[in-house]
């Protein structure tokens, strides 16, 4: 972690942050806040670059996932019924 030292009150410290009456800890927290604000601004810029799929593609993909899930559920339910039947015959 980089340490910034203020030699005089009001002098510029690392990354141009002004030091007032507050301690070095407040300077580091300001750097954190500045970094967080910069990060969020960059996120906003990158979010504008996203190309979203068309509505038709989203609906078709959702339909495919739903149909596949129904088939897998039916297959597993059928296997469960078969194994249940076999076990009931064996247990008699």
Residue 29 to residue 13: CA distance in whole angstroms: 13
CA distances from 3 to 20, 22, 38, 65 (A): 17, 15, 21, 53
Residue 44 or residue 11, greater confidence: 44
Q: Show the tokens assigned to 34.
A: 């500045």
> pLDDT tens, 12-67?
444 455 555 555 555 566 788 889 999 999 999 999 999 989 999 999 999 999 99
């Amino acid at each position: 972690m980089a340490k910034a030292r203020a030699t005089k009150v009001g002098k510029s410290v690392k990354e141009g942050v002004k030091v007032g009456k507050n301690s070095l800890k407040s300077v580091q927290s300001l750097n954190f806040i500045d970094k967080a604000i910069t990060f969020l601004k960059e996120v906003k810029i990158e979010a504008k670059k996203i190309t979203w799929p068309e509505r038709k593609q989203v609906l078709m993909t959702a339909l495919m996932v739903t149909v596949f899930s129904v088939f897998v559920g039916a297959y597993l339910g059928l296997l469960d019924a078969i194994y249940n039947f076999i076990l009931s015959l064996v247990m008699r």
